[in-house]
Structures are given as C-alpha cells and as structure tokens.
Structure 1
Amino acid sequence: MERQKTRPGLADVARRAGVGLATVDRVLNERGSVSPGTERRVIDAARALGLRRILPTPHARQVRIEVILARAITPFMQRLTLAMGQVAETLDRSIVIQRTSLDMSDPASVAPRILGSRADGIIVYCEEHRANVAAIAASEEAGRPVICVVTDVPGSPRSAYVGIDHAKAGRTAGFFAARMVRRPGRAIVISTSEGFRAHRQRIDGFREALALHNPDIAVISGLITGDDQDRAYHLVAEALRGGSDVTAVYNTGGGNRGAALAIRDAGRTGATLFLGHELTEETRVLLRCGEMTVTIDQAPELQARRSIDLMLNRLGVTAGPKMEAEIGFTLHTAENC
C-alpha cells in the first residue's frame, strides 16, 4: 500500500524560511511587525512547500523609511535634504520616505526620535553620543535596521554607514596645505563640532598629513563654529591677529563665507590658504574670486540614493549584488568649480 505524503505545516515553513513559528504565524495571518525581507522569505517558503492555504501578497503594505537629519540651515544639509526628497519621488508608491529635521545642538536629541520611530528602517545623521548608540542598538534589536549617513557611529550595531572616508578627506586637505606652503608656520582648523566622528576624522587626517609632508607647520584646532558664519569670522580673525605665520585655514564644516571674509579683512587673501568642504553656490563664488583654495565635496546626492537603496535591500524590498557603502569625494578649485 502506497504511503500517503504528509502535508507541510507551519513548522516546515519556519524551518525553510529560517524563522520561528511565531514569525510564520504573523506573516501568514498578516499581523504585522515583520520586516518586508522576512515576510518575503516566509511566503516564498510556504509557496515552495505547497502549503494549502491562501497566501498574503508580499509587500501589500507600505514600507516606511524614516530619514532623520539636522535642520537644513547649512548649504550641505539643504543639499542632502533636497536629495532625499528627490530620491523619494522616484520610488514606488508602496515605499514612503518620512523626513524628520531636528535641532541637533543637543547631541542626545536624536535618541528619542530613533526610539519613537515606527518606520521599518531608519537612516540617521547624528553625533557619536552614548544615548544615540543605545537607541540605535535598541532599534536594531527590534528588527528596525539603522543606516548612518554622512557621519558614522561605529560603536553601535548599525546596519551600515554611507558616506566618504573622512580621514582620507582630511589627509587630502593636509597634503595640499603641506605642498603649497614651503615655510614654517601655523595651520588653523575650525570645525562644526568634534562630537561628530566625521569632523574628528577630518582633523586627525589633516594633522597626520602635515606631520608627514611638512612637520614645520603646527596645527591649531579645537575652534568650534557650530556652522555659524559670524563665529567662524571671529575665530579666524582672532587667529590671524596673532601674527602673519598662519599659513593655512582648514574648515571641516560650514561657515566658509565667514572664514573667507576674515582672511580678506586681514589682508591675507592668497597668502593664507583656505581649504574647506562642499561645493555650493557659496564656495563656488569663493573659489572663483581666489578667496578659497580648494573644497572637498562629499556628493550628498549620491549619499541619499545609496543610503535608501541599501535600506531597501536590507529590508528585502529589492535584491541584487552587494553595493559599496563608501562614497568617493571630489576636489574642486577655481579651475573646475
């Protein structure tokens, strides 16, 4: 007598999909709280096993990604915010990009927003603060992946970091300063905040390159602008009043116009190199008129596209070969701005 085949059950589906029975139950009964990627695996496993029941349609529900950025008060953050919106317009209606802008003067302000998010995944720009690290860990533990954009939080279990290599960018600025100045002196570094890993890495890279290529130039850092034009002006003006041995000013953040104006008012345009970041209308003008030597652009438009693509891949909405998370930076002078 022929032995009757055993019909597949939920346990078989769970084993094939590599998940627990509770997850299979939530997917097949459409109870929610399951990532799109896991949902797809469960439905594919049930279909492959020939489970006798009506299966839900994968991705019938919306996939929501929350993008948490600083308020768009700097040209760079304006570019990044705009780029996130432009990428959102190219996506399927079932994918919702929710943009949240925060005042990040308090480094821990991002943590409550991460913890309170109900999105399927989070893309975030934030300082490497212990509260943010804990919030990212809690989000990942809850099955809500987090991708850091522009600046990394490597002490957290974030899913990925999308952005440039800031240490290389700082070393590039230091290389230019070392090779273009052939006399001893001081290089002044101004920065948005040293709470962001990106700025610390740029400063460290700048120091390393000068120590290697021109150790006669001393680096003076720790001058924090908060991206404020007036503060950048006063900090640079004060440094220049200390003497004519300031050979270079390197700005790792915003406030380029204020720094350039201080150099001009001190009569040091051309004599003191001015190196900074981002190609904006502001820096284009400064480069063309010779008040800025070089700017390093980190392609926020590409960062927006890559971070969203990576998140969709991480959530299982899209599939394909592994994408590179590192973004290449470009150099701009008066000749190619």
Structure 2
Amino acid sequence: MNKPNYKDIARHAGVGTATVERVLNGRGGVRPELVEKVLLAARTLNYPRKLPEAHRGLLRIEVLMVRPETTFYQRLSKAFERIAATLDPLVVVQRSFAEEMKPDEIARRILSTDVARAGLILAVPSSPVISAAVHKVNAQGLPVVHVVTRASDRVGEFIGIDNYAAGRTAALYISRMARRTGPVVAICHPVYQVHRERIRGFSDYFHEHPGPIAFEWLGFSRDEERYGAESLSVALGMYPHLIGLYNAGGANSALIQVLRRHPRGRDVLFVGHELTDYTNAALKEGIMDVVLDQAPEAQAQRALDLILRRVGLTAIEPDRAPIRFITITAEAL
C-alpha cells in the first residue's frame, strides 16, 4: 500500500493541501479546529513522520446533561466516558451537568465561549431561551446533536428512541396483560417533549382500541419522588378498581414503594421506563411487569458518531433510524 501524501490527508480531513502543508510543517495561521482535523487524519492514515503535538486536546466535544442523581443520566454519562476512552487522544469528550429547572443557566452554558468546541451534544429539556441559544451556536457553525429529548425542534439532529411507539407499546402490554378490566392511568413529566410523545402514543392506542380497559387519567410527577408518589396515591383513591399504570418518565422508585405498601398495589399492571436497581428488583418481586429501556449506551455511541461525521473525522454516516428500545420482563432477568 502506498504511503499517504498531503493529498490523501487533505481529502480525509476535508481541507486543502496548502492547509495540510502548513499544519504538518508548523507554519501556523490555521484555525485550531482545522489543525486537529489534519493531525487526526494524518494519524488515522499512519503518515510516516512525527506529527506536531502543540495542539493536542483542542478538538473538544461538549456533552451537557441534567439530573446527575438519576440512574438513567448516570448510565448516559458513563457511556460517554467509556466511548471517549476508545477515541483518538486528539478528541476530548467533556461531560457536565446543569440544573434541569434553570433554563437560563442551561442557555448560558450552551452559549459559553470559555473553551473552543468542535461539537455540542445536549440532553436537556426545551424552553424558548434554550432553543434560542441552540439556534445561535448552530448558526455560528457549531454542530449540535440532541440525545434523549430535543432542546430545539428546528436545529440539530435527534438521537433517541421512537417515543410515540414506546407509548403505544406500553398501552398494548397493559391492554393484553391486564388480569381484569377497568381504568388505566399514566404519569409523566410534562416539561419533556419525549414524555408528551409517549403519552400521545399511549392515549392514541386506547382511543383506537376502545373497550372495557380504558385510559382515564394523567398525573404529573416532574420526575421527582414526592410528586410521583402523590400522583399515584391520588389515582388509587380516585379509581378503587385501577388495573393499569404507565409511568412515561422517571422516579419509578417512589411509585414502586406506593404500590408495595398499598393493599391493591399488586393488582395494578405497571409498565415503566429504564432498567435500574429499583426496577430490576420490582420486576423480580412482581410489583412491576414490563420495563421499556431506551438504551442510553447506544444513544451515546450514535451521538458521538454523528458529531465525528459532522466535523469530518470519519466518512461513515451513522444510522438514522430511531434507537431500538428494549422490552424487559421478570422472565428476562
């Protein structure tokens, strides 16, 4: 195989041969992000000479998330950490968290120019101020990818499961697995678009399949233990013959505790999201019946692949299909 030359490196990095020459010979005058593209292309092609080290670590991908106390976001953060360890040392993946209910803080973090960024991955809720910040940085040329949920409907690519299908799947399980007929309730965190999509799919399924098992009531939890427990307690009081519960969001542990203590708790067919220590134990105990896990590890891999493609560090176009969610029951543990 022929040794790579300037043209090969330029083609791989998406720059001109003059830029490659300036970088490899240390002549300066090249933007840091282009320097990193050239050096990474040269390393990938095994260019047979010692490469400059002055700009190492400047190709930075920032990942901004919320709710570090939750198992799901811990899994997502850990996935980014593990994948980052397999990338070229020239690529740095910086993970950080912001407060979910402080949109101004999230917007400020998105707009920050403290450190040069080659790409931005967001797992944050949407709001007008956050959306405006996303639009601004994207207009400045920063690639943006949304994971789990969208911070903007118009800018950036989305990596996640088909949440509408997840909601319909939850409805299907309850309607087919319920041990008797009666009312069904759901709980969600309305600030997240993906939760609203799940509830829409859940509701549409029951609307299209009318019968003695019906979706009667929607409660709001903010994905917090106290609010989730209060919502479910209210539902159990309103519907003495409740037969099904769908939690479209988090805080499953509080719902599990309510059902565990309630005299009718084990009669309620419970479908929720994310495999955690709590939901694993609840499945084994029979408090929970089905878990729909949205595979944060797969979402992290796809998001990084997409950013690397957008900045020209790989020629492989990632799959565009929604991430497959995983259905887990006690029999699969």
Please, what TM-score do these two structures have when normalized by structure 2?
A: 0.82
Please state if 1:84 is matched with 2:84.
no
Identity %: 34
Residue aligned with 2:323, SS: coil
Gaps of 5+ in 1: 1-12, 45-55
Q: Note if contact 2:306-2:317 (Cα within 8 Å) is conserved in structure 1.
A: no
- Distance (whole Å) between structure 1 residues aligned to residue 129 and residue 288 of structure 2: 38
Residue aligned with 2:198, SS: helix
The corresponding residue for 1:199 is: 195
Give 1:273 deviation, angstroms: 0.9
The corresponding residue for 1:119 is: 117
Q: How many residues end up aligned between the 2 structures? A: 304
- Distance (whole Å) between structure 2 residues aligned to residue 298 and residue 36 of structure 1: 37
- Out of 198, 218, 232, which is 2:215 matched to? 218
- Distance (whole Å) between structure 1 residues aligned to residue 155 and residue 54 of structure 2: 26
The corresponding residue for 2:178 is: 181
- Tell me which amino acid in the other structure corresponds to 2:69: I
The corresponding residue for 1:155 is: 153
- Distance (whole Å) between structure 1 residues aligned to residue 281 and residue 98 of structure 2: 29
Please, what TM-score do these two structures have when normalized by structure 1?
A: 0.81
When structure 1 is superposed on structure 2, of 75-84 and 283-292 the one drifting more is: 75-84
- Out of 293, 303, 312, which is 1:316 matched to? 312
Moved over 4 A (4+): 26-29, 33-37, 56-61
- Distance (whole Å) between structure 2 residues aligned to residue 195 and residue 155 of structure 1: 14
Gaps of 5+ in 2: 1-9, 43-50
Give 1:231 deviation, angstroms: 2.5
Give 1:71 deviation, angstroms: 3.1
- Out of 136, 139, 155, which is 1:138 matched to? 136
Aligned CA RMSD, in angstroms, stands at: 3.0
- Distance (whole Å) between structure 1 residues aligned to residue 195 and residue 34 of structure 2: 34
- Distance (whole Å) between structure 2 residues aligned to residue 332 and residue 36 of structure 1: 46
- Distance (whole Å) between structure 2 residues aligned to residue 197 and residue 35 of structure 1: 36
When structure 1 is superposed on structure 2, of 108-117 and 93-102 the one drifting more is: 108-117
Residue aligned with 2:138, SS: helix
- Distance (whole Å) between structure 2 residues aligned to residue 281 and residue 287 of structure 1: 10
Give 1:302 deviation, angstroms: 1.1
- Tell me: CA distance 1:308–1:72, structure 2 relative to 1, closer, same or farther (3 Å): same
User: Cα deviation per residue 1:79-123 (whole Å; 9 max; x = unaligned)?
Assistant: 111111111111111010111111112244321111114311100
- Tell me: CA distance 1:263–1:36, structure 2 relative to 1, closer, same or farther (3 Å): farther
Pair member with larger Rg:
1
Please state if 1:237 is matched with 2:236.
no
Residue aligned with 1:86, SS: helix
The corresponding residue for 1:30 is: 29
